[in-house]
Chains A and B, each alone.
Chain A
Amino acid sequence: MLQIKNLTKIYEGGVKALDNVSFEVPDNQFLAVIGLSGSGKSTLLRCINRLIEPTDGQILWNGEDITAASQEEMRRIRRKIGMVFQHFNLVHRSKVITNVLAGRLGYVNPAWSLMNRFPKEDIEKAIQKMNRVGIAEKAYQRADELSGGQQQRVGIARALMQDPEMILADEPVASLDPVLAHSIMSHLEDINKNDGVTVLCSLHFLDLVHRYADRAVALNEGKLVFEGNPKDIDDEKFKDIYGRDAERIG
């Protein structure tokens, strides 16, 4: 259970990215986070694993206060939270398998990992995870030689290496074409349904939200404007989320 209480983030320039946001995510849920660009979706997701330090408020995960965790505790928390990014964020010049193995960095002994040494089980696990997302034959290619869809699958394999209990997906399909988008989303769905991993996924297209999400929260200028079943987003709610001038296309 992830509980977000009165979360507020004000950037140094005074921009209020999150304004008193509170909601809860039960375990094993597929939660879509929707809203316009700049509405605070990315900030929200990054506050959860504290890539961004929240200004105020609390994030509780299984009763543990993430916002109060020390550096050492944060390492332990982060390794249970996988993250998938819009721009994949792979290390381009490294091999695919190195990128995937990087998901184990929170577990392995730092001294050995600095010399690029991973335990045998981890390497086997990496190959298994790459098989699961269908990129095993690319394992020894450089990451930037892969196409966009393949790169995102490497990103998912990296997140899976963490044995995550939760995956934060920050617009995972925004840089991909519709066919690839469905392929990536179905991987996330598979992980959510079969492995019981909670997924928080920010999305732009409502049809994807309808198709994959159990529940949705919507942000507008940092404020939570909707929370509930995606099917309940009618035209009135739609205009609340995306503004008065928005036209529904999907």
Chain B
Amino acid sequence: MKNNKKASPWKSLRVGLIALLSMVIFAYGFQITRVNLEELRSETRQESLIRVMRALAKPDLLEYEQEVEIVNTPVFLPCPADGTLPATPEPSGLEPYLVLTPACANEGDTIQVEGFNFAPNTTGPLRFIPGSDPDNTVSLGRENAETDADGHFIVNMELPNRASDEVQFIRATLRRNIGSPHLTQTAHDTWAKIVETVFMALLATIFGTLLAIPLSFIAARNLMMPVKSPLTSIALSILGWPIGILFGFMVVRWVGDLSASVGSNIWINLVSVVISPILISLGLRWALPQVETTTPSTQVRIVRMATLLLTVLIGFYGLFQLASLTMSTGETLTTSLGSFGFLGYFLFQVGDIVAIITPALGALAVGGALSSFLGRLGLRSSEKLPDSGLKILNIILATVAGATVLGLLGQLVEWLYQLGQPMYTLWIPLAVGGTLGLLLAIFTKAKDALPIGMVIYYITRSFLNGLRSVEALVMAIVFVIAVGIGPFAGALALGLHTIVSLAKLYCEQVESIMTGPLEAIEATGANRLQTIIYAVVPQIVPPYISYTMYRWDINVRMSTIIGFVGGGGIGFLLQQNINLLNYRGASAQMLAIAVVVASMDYISSVLREKTI
């Protein structure tokens, strides 16, 4: 680097210009953010600031039963013209009383107020009561009285600008705490909401983690880079998805109807739930032998496929029956378990979730299975067929696949925006997709392996990045509309955001694993899925756990504000109290958030140490 030692004037000039430019940008930032300390110096701002800070410093958590002594004493403002003052009631024995010196004064004068016979060591406001009614709730002034051990106090008080011919009053309201402190209503509400907040974050994290793990594998460059496939295989597997999903959805719905027609009798359910796993394991054991030394014959393969299909159908039947069983047991338990009824509620809801997602799951499973089957078929035929025949097959398949993809996208657009113009949402996408597929088939060699892995990688990455840029708070607004105000909406929004951001963090971990074990497992003849399970997964377990913990931490913090948009949790209370200027209440909630976040931090760091 010796040749860089000599400073050239251009370089200095450039550095100078950059420095100048950054200063200009920074200066502009001052104007944009309206940096203005003048505001801070203003009297009223400082006063309110102090008031709010003091309120925040006293969270509304504990309160006492209070004993109050209220004493009114008449005052004249200004002194009556005739100079006669009405007789003040004589202090009698042990009753508390006030003495004013002087007993009358002009507006703005300072008088001395002395109290006698109050309870010792009490505090409270000393106020001017305008108007002639001693019970008037309006009071002026900000003086505070504090009695000594003898129940005596002296306070200098400035009289306000409220002249009147009639008698007015000065009131001392001295309060004393009695008994032991107890929690306020705010504290109880805060507790209930903070529990809701923590569980919202927990559910969102678990839900998000489960879905982020598979996503992270297909968003990892090092795993997707070697995935290459000939066009025949790609086109067939693309076609497999929609057909399989449609078919799977119909079949699983049919199984669901079958399950419903069998009945919701608890005994039938129970028997089905017990029997179907046995059948499934028998079927799997027979259809998937543990070691296969010779390639099986076609007949055996077909019988095996049929058995597998039957097994899968029994599996879905079992799931429906399980859902029905848990729902009915849940219902009974909710009423019979008393305070542990939430377990029954949980069972009922889990059953409901299973019943709802089973058709979707089935559709996806059949879609995936058909797609991979067709893909393999494509691979086989691209190996076996001659080039020219393959080219024609490719042209047909790629055209149909391209048309299908863009046609489906067009239908999605139609469904979203309701354009009602099939020309733009159906025919043109079909034509464009078909043409693109056709061109692809024409301009690639028939047996070339195309980098489909990288295509999937880029699509997944852009999808993740796009969705990640939408804040959970914004997602919550949508979910509030979908499932109503409450913590469920918040949990869904946080969950979705967790999926995309965790998938991003996870896949960076997958990309930074050691390649040695990957190479070694691949060399044993393991297929791609086996390589992932045996070489990738063990390496990413610690960072995955640590990121999940970190995300839980973030979710707890996020869920404290998701209530601002109706997503449930403590944010709702916090916002309400801030809007009502109830800073002591808000302070209680902020304290709760701080305690929860700090303890989460501690717990997650301890757990992280344990697992790694």
Chain B stretch 533-584: residues in CB contact (< 8 A) with chain A: 533-535, 538-539, 541-542
- Return the contact of B529 from the options A103, A107, A114 (Cβ within 8 A): A114
Contact A78/B539 with A89-B517, A108-B291 known, Cβ cut-off 8 Å: no
Give how many A residues have a beta carbon under 8 Å from the other chain's beta carbons: 46
- Chain B residues, Cβ within 8 Å of A119: 290-291
B524/A78 in contact, CB under 8 A: yes
B383/A109 in contact, CB under 8 A: no
Q: How many A-B residue pairs have CB under 8 A?
A: 105
The yes or no answer to B338 lying at the interface (CB within 8 A) is no
The yes or no answer to B293 lying at the interface (CB within 8 A) is yes
A94/B538 in contact, CB under 8 A: yes
In the docked arrangement, what's the CA distance between A111 and B291, Å? Answer: 11
- Return the contact of B539 from the options A93, A112, A158, A161 (Cβ within 8 A): A93
The yes or no answer to B520 lying at the interface (CB within 8 A) is yes
Chain B 259-289, CB within 8 Å of chain A: the 1/0 string? 0000000000000000000000000100011
Which residue of B is nearest A80, CB measured? B525
Chain A stretch 37-75: residues in CB contact (< 8 A) with chain B: 49, 51, 70-71, 74-75
Size class of B's contact patch? 20 to 34
Contact A91/B534 with A108-B291, A109-B291 known, Cβ cut-off 8 Å: yes
In the docked arrangement, what's the CA distance between A153 and B284, Å? Answer: 36
Chain A 75-104, CB within 8 Å of chain B: the 1/0 string? 111110111010111111110001000111
- Return the contact of B524 from the options A79, A110, A114 (Cβ within 8 A): A79
B290/A108 in contact, CB under 8 A: yes
Contact A105/B530 with A112-B288, A158-B520 known, Cβ cut-off 8 Å: yes
In the docked arrangement, what's the CA distance between A155 and B538, Å? Answer: 17
The yes or no answer to B292 lying at the interface (CB within 8 A) is yes
- Chain B residues, Cβ within 8 Å of A237: none
Chain B stretch 123-142: residues in CB contact (< 8 A) with chain A: none
Shortest CB-to-CB span from B549 to chain A, Å, is 18
The yes or no answer to A113 lying at the interface (CB within 8 A) is yes
B538/A107 in contact, CB under 8 A: no
A162/B288 in contact, CB under 8 A: no
Contact A110/B290 with A79-B525, A89-B517 known, Cβ cut-off 8 Å: no
Contact A87/B290 with A78-B524, A110-B527, A110-B530 known, Cβ cut-off 8 Å: no
In the docked arrangement, what's the CA distance between A103 and B527, Å? Answer: 12
- Return the contact of B383 from the options A70, A88, A162 (Cβ within 8 A): A70
In the docked arrangement, what's the CA distance between A220 and B290, Å? Answer: 46
In the docked arrangement, what's the CA distance between A168 and B292, Å? Answer: 25
In the docked arrangement, what's the CA distance between A103 and B530, Å? Answer: 11
- Chain B residues, Cβ within 8 Å of A158: 520, 524
In the docked arrangement, what's the CA distance between A155 and B521, Å? Answer: 11
B523/A78 in contact, CB under 8 A: yes
- Chain A residues, Cβ within 8 Å of B530: 105, 110, 113-114
- Chain B residues, Cβ within 8 Å of A122: 291
Shortest CB-to-CB span from A6 to chain B, Å, is 22
A112/B290 in contact, CB under 8 A: yes
Chain A stretch 89-146: residues in CB contact (< 8 A) with chain B: 89-94, 98, 102-114, 116-119, 122
In the docked arrangement, what's the CA distance between A85 and B541, Å? Answer: 24
The yes or no answer to B379 lying at the interface (CB within 8 A) is yes
In the docked arrangement, what's the CA distance between A116 and B538, Å? Answer: 12
In the docked arrangement, what's the CA distance between A102 and B538, Å? Answer: 13
- Chain B residues, Cβ within 8 Å of A78: 522-525
Which residue of B is nearest A120, CB measured? B290
A102/B290 in contact, CB under 8 A: no
The yes or no answer to B526 lying at the interface (CB within 8 A) is yes
Contact A89/B525 with A109-B290, A109-B292, A119-B290 known, Cβ cut-off 8 Å: no
A76/B525 in contact, CB under 8 A: yes
The yes or no answer to B519 lying at the interface (CB within 8 A) is yes
Chain B 295-318, CB within 8 Å of chain A: the 1/0 string? 000000000000000000000000
B524/A103 in contact, CB under 8 A: yes
Shortest CB-to-CB span from A78 to chain B, Å, is 4
- Chain A residues, Cβ within 8 Å of B524: 78-79, 82-83, 102-106, 158, 161-162
B521/A102 in contact, CB under 8 A: yes
Shortest CB-to-CB span from B224 to chain A, Å, is 16
Which residue of A is nearest B285, CB measured? A112
- Chain A residues, Cβ within 8 Å of B520: 83, 85, 89-90, 102, 155, 158
B523/A102 in contact, CB under 8 A: no
B525/A106 in contact, CB under 8 A: yes
The yes or no answer to B86 lying at the interface (CB within 8 A) is no
A91/B523 in contact, CB under 8 A: no
**Between-chain CB contacts (< 8 Å), 6 pairs:** A75-B526, A106-B524, A107-B291, A109-B288, A111-B284, A113-B534
Closest 4 CB pairs of A and B: A106-B525, A79-B525, A89-B516, A105-B526
Where the two chains meet, the residues of B that have a C-beta atom closer than 8 Å to any C-beta of A are 284, 288-293, 379, 383, 516-517, 519-527, 529-530, 533-535, 538-539, 541-542
Give 13 A-B pairs besides A77-B525, A78-B522 with Cβ atoms closer than 8 angstroms: A51-B522, A76-B525, A78-B523, A82-B523, A85-B520, A91-B521, A102-B534, A107-B293, A109-B292, A113-B533, A114-B529, A119-B291, A158-B520
